[in-house]
Amino acid sequence: MHYAPIAIAILAEVAATMLLPLTNGFTRLSPSLGVLAGYGAAFYFLSLALRAMPVAIAYALWSGLGTVLVTILSWLTARQAIEFTQVIGILLIVIGSSILHLGGHGLNSL
């Protein structure tokens, strides 16, 4: 169950990032507190994930999947356009994170 902390870290970081526009440059208290709490939780759970996995793999999963989720949520909630090249980029992030993860489990001799 060592994936739970990294999953929580990713979700907390995504939630904080999605709240950032609502802070209006950190002039609105409630969303600003949400951003600070979200990033605080993200780093806390990332540190817990590092007990069970190497930092390179944890960071690749955290940043890569976070980027993918923020892009998808921005498209769904804010109607931000996603171009074909961005879809290719998302696929490459997922593939790259997967390769790093596989390499961390002894499959690096390929």
Domain boundaries, the chain: 3-103
Confidence (pTM): 0.83
- The pLDDT assigned to 51 comes to 94
The per-residue pLDDT for range 29-56, each reduced to its tens digit, is 999 999 999 999 999 999 999 999 888 8
Distance CA 105, CA 102 (A): 5
- The pLDDT assigned to 105 comes to 55
Residue type, 1: M
- The pLDDT assigned to 104 comes to 57
Neighbour count for residue 109 (Cβ, 10 Å): 5
What would the two tokens of residue 13 be? 């970081």
pLDDT at 107 over 60: no
